[in-house]
Amino acid sequence: MLLLPACSLAALIAPRARAVCSLGDATTPSARLAAHLEQLQAQKRAAVAVPAVREQDLCERVGISSFKPFQRTVLQHLGALPPDPLEGGSAARPSGRTDVLAVQPTGAGKSVCFQAAAAALGGTTLVISPLVSLMFDQVTSASTSLIRSATINSMQSPAERAEVMEKLSSGQLDLLYTSPEQLDRNGMLARALQSLSVPLVAVDEAHCISSWGHDFRPAYRRVLSAVHKLGSPRLLALTASAPPAVRDDIARQLGFTEGHLRIVASCYRSNIRLLRGAKSVDAVTEAVAGGGGPALVYAQTRKEVRDLAVELSRRTADGGGLVYQYHAGMKAGDRAAAQERFMGSREGAVMVATSAFGMGLNKANIRTVVHFGAPGTIESYYQELGRGGRDGKPSRAVLLCSDLAVHRFFLETVHPTADDVSRVWRAVLTLGSDAEEQSGGRGRGRGGAFEFMTDEPDDLVLSCSVADLQAAASALPTAQGGKRKVQAPSRCLAALEEWGYLSRTPPRTSVAFFGSRAEVGAEAPGPREGPLPLPPGLRPKTLQARAWRAIADPAGLHGAVQALAAREKVDDAWGAVDAAWGRNPETKEAPVAGQRGRLLLRRDVETSTFEGWAAVSGLEPGSFATAVRALEAKELIAVERSLSVQVRVPGEERRGKLPPAEDARVVALMAERRRAQDKIRAVQEYMTCRAADLSESDTLWAFIARYFGERGPADAPDAHSTTR
C-alpha cells in the first residue's frame, strides 16, 4: 500500500494550500511526490479517450461468461463497450455525460453493469448504496474479479477510513462504494473525489431518491449537487422496483438529460409461483416444509421474528431443520453470524427476519419466500419475493394475509394532514408565548443547561420535548371541532419550516470530561493521533473502553483543548489538560477514577453525532448507552442533552396565517398523504383480487404488472423494453 506524504493529505483537507506542493517549490521528497500525484490526477481529469475493450475480455474480468442483453445495452450507452456494428453503430464512444435508468428484477445482475464499467472506463467509479452490509458484500464480490474496490461508511474505524482514503487519493481504486449520507457530510471524501477522474456515478437502489418510492432516503436528494462538483460524469440509476411515477421522479431528481436511456424489464418472474393464505403459524410451517429448499420468512415486528423463530425451531427439530433470525435489535455480530450460516445452507434452513434483511442478498437457491402478514407496499413486496428463485428454478412466494393496521399507523406517523400541521402551529405559538411570560422576556428558550436564544427581540423561541408539543397540539380541536391525536408532530414542524414559518435547530448533546490522560506530551501542542488514553480504572477491552475511545476522539476535542489553553493562559494546549486537572507534570500523578475533580473538557455536538458514536465504537446502540451510563456512574464523564424541539418563529410570522387549502404547498402535502394511502389500498386489493379465467399465480402476477405499468404474464413474460 502506498502511503501518501503529509503534504498530499493536507492538500485534501485544505485545498487552498495545494500551491505549496507544486513542483517548482517542492524541495523535499515528500513535497515532490505529492506534487507528482497532483499532476497525475490533473492528467486523469483531462483525459477523454477511453481505450477500446473487447467484450470477452471484460466478461472475463468480472467473472461471467457473457453479458445479458440489458447489461450490454447499458455498457454500450455508458461507453464501456463499443456499439454493436450489426446494428449500424460505429466504434466511436459517446463523450461527455450519458445517463441510464435500468429497472431490472432482483437477481438480474444489475451490479455487473457498474463493475464492468469501472473495469473499462478508467478513473474511479463511484457507487452510492443505501446499506452498509450491501457495500461490504459487493466489495468482496468485486475483489474476486480483480477490480480494485473499497467502501467508506459509518461502520469503519478511523484507521480503516484513513487507509481507504489513501488508496482513493493515490488512484488505487477502480470502484468506491459509499452511502448518500457519507457523500453529503464527509468533506474530506468530497474533496478527494473532486481531485480525481470520476467517469461514472452509479446510484444503486435508486427508488430511495424518490419520495414516491417505498424506501425514501432524504440524503439521496442531495446526490445531484455532489455529482455536479465532480464535473459531468455519466449517471447510472438502478432499481428493481419502480412504477412509472417513481421512474420519472428518479430522472428528475438526478437531473437526467432529456435524451437519457431507460431500460425497463418485465416484472414477471415465470419461475416464481405466487400464493395467498391466512396468517397463522400453521400456514408458515406448511409453506416452509413444502418448499424443498432454504426458506425466507418475513415478519412485521422484532417480537414476531423472535416468537416465530422459536416456534419454527420447535416444530422442525425432528426434521433437522435449522432456523435463524435477523432483525435490527440483535447485536451486529449475531446478525452477521446468522446471515453467514443461512447463506451457506443448502436444504431445510429457514431465515425469519424483518425487512432489514435481504437487500442485495445473493443466495440463488431460496425456494420459498413467506410474508407473515401484509407488506407495506407492492414495491417492497415485489422486491422481497424476488429474493427467491434467483437460480431460475421453480420457487414459491406465499403471502399470509392480515389486516393493515400496522401500516395505517405508520402512515399517520409519517404523513400528517393539513389540519395536523395547523394544530402544531397553534401549539408552537401557545407554548412559546407561555414560555415568554414565564421567562419575562422574548427571544430566549431554555432546556436543561442549553439556552436557545435569538438576537431579534420580536422572535418567538420555543424549547420543549416532542411529547409536550404533541400533547399540546392534540388537545386543540380539529377543523371539524372534534379531537384527534397528532401522530406526526416532527413531520408537522418540518412542513412549517419548509413553508418558511419557523426554523429548527438540531438538538444537541454536551459531554463533560473528568478523566485523565496517561501522558502529558508537552512537546505536541497541536492535534494528537489516536483517542485519549484510558483513564485509571478502565480495562482496555471492556465496552466502556470502546465507548470512551469513540467519545474522546482528539479531532473532535481539539477545539475544546485550545479553548482550555486560552482560558488557562498557557501555550501548550495538551499540557493545559493536565494543568486543569491538577496533575503534576513531573510525577504524572492522576486522580483516582470516580473522584470527580475539576472539569477537564466539554464537547458539544449535535445529538445525531453523539448517537453516531455508537457505530464508531462498534457497539449496538443499547450497549453503547449502557457503557455511557457506566462512565457517568464512575464520574469520568457527564452527558446532558437539550430538549428535542428547538424552534424560532420570526416576529413577522407570529401573527401570520397558514396557507389556505388551495395553496400549492398544502396541495403537495395532501397529495403525498394520498399516495401513501393509495399504496396501502393497492396491498389490500392484491390480497383480495380474483380472476375467473386465470390461475391464482397468474392473477397475482397480472395485478403486479398493472401496478408497475408493464405487461402481464399473458403478453411477453421475459421481454424488456428500451425507451428514451
The pLDDT, as a whole number, for residue 415 is: 93
Closest CA to 365 of 297, 293, 286, 285: 293
Give residues with Cβ within 8 angstroms of 400, minimum separation 6: 276, 277, 278, 279, 280, 283, 284, 287, 370, 371, 372, 373
Query: How far apart are the C-alpha atoms of 154 and 190, rounded to whole Å?
Result: 15
For residues 450 and 523, state if they share a domain.
no
Alpha-carbon distance values, 391 to 145, 204, 721 (Å): 21, 22, 23
CB 182 within 8 A of CB 195: no
Domain membership flag for residue 383: yes
Domain membership flag for residue 581: yes
Q: Is the dihedral of CA 488, 490, 493, 498 positive or negative?
A: negative
Q: Could you say which of 641, 670, 702 is where a domain stops?
A: 641
Query: How far apart are the C-alpha atoms of 374 and 402, rounded to whole Å?
Result: 5
The 10 Å Cβ neighbour count of residue 34 is 26
For residues 354 and 337, state if they share a domain.
yes
Degrees, nearest 5: CA angle 294-297-300 = 165
For residues 197 and 220, state if they share a domain.
yes
For residues 652 and 633, state if they share a domain.
no
For residues 244 and 188, state if they share a domain.
yes
Set of cell numbers at residue 331: 447485536
For residues 24 and 62, state if they share a domain.
no
Cross-strand pairs, 602: 512
Domain boundaries, position 559: 508-641
For residues 22 and 62, state if they share a domain.
no
pTM attached to this predicted model: 0.74
Domain membership flag for residue 709: no
Domain membership flag for residue 671: no
DSSP letter, residue 589: B
For residues 227 and 310, state if they share a domain.
no
For residues 542 and 611, state if they share a domain.
yes
Q: Could you say which of 197, 232, 265 is where a domain stops?
A: 265
Surface-to-core class of residue 525, CB atoms within 10 Å of its CB (0-12 exposed, 13-18 middle, 19+ buried): middle
Query: How far apart are the C-alpha atoms of 618 and 229, rounded to whole Å?
Result: 32
Domain membership flag for residue 613: yes
Helix, strand, coil percent content, the chain, rounded in steps of 5 = 45, 15, 40
Q: Could you say which of 609, 641, 673 is where a domain stops?
A: 641
Query: How far apart are the C-alpha atoms of 604 and 174, rounded to whole Å?
Result: 38
For residues 518 and 438, state if they share a domain.
no
Count Cα neighbours of 74 within 13 Å in the Cβ-side half-sphere. Answer: 32
Place of cell 459509518: 154
* Domain CATH number, residue 366: 3.40.50.300
Domain membership flag for residue 177: yes
For residues 291 and 319, state if they share a domain.
yes
For residues 231 and 94, state if they share a domain.
yes
Give residues with Cβ within 8 angstroms of 508, minimum separation 6: 450, 604, 605, 606, 607, 641, 642
Surface-to-core class of residue 521, CB atoms within 10 Å of its CB (0-12 exposed, 13-18 middle, 19+ buried): middle
Q: List average pLDDT for each run of 10 residues in the chain, which is 724 residues long.
A: 33 30 39 45 44 80 90 91 64 59 87 91 90 74 78 78 89 90 83 89 88 66 85 89 88 87 90 95 92 90 93 78 86 82 85 83 88 93 91 94 90 93 95 81 51 68 93 94 92 94 91 57 41 71 86 62 54 49 40 49 81 76 89 88 91 84 94 93 94 89 90 48 48
Domain membership flag for residue 669: no
DSSP letter, residue 663: S
Query: How far apart are the C-alpha atoms of 349 and 347, rounded to whole Å?
Result: 6
The pLDDT, as a whole number, for residue 292 is: 80
CB 367 within 8 A of CB 294: yes
Encode pLDDT of 503-516 as tens digits.
Answer: 999 898 988 877 54
Closest CA to 127 of 149, 105, 145: 149
Per DSSP, the three-state class of 462 is strand
Alpha-carbon distance values, 613 to 332, 503, 639 (Å): 15, 27, 13
Neighbour-count burial for 670-681, b at 16+ CB within 10 Å, e otherwise: eebbeebeebbe
Domain membership flag for residue 688: no
Q: To 10 degrees, what angle do helices 664-688 and 378-385 make?
A: 50
Number of domains in the chain: 5
Closest CA to 270 of 103, 393, 434: 393
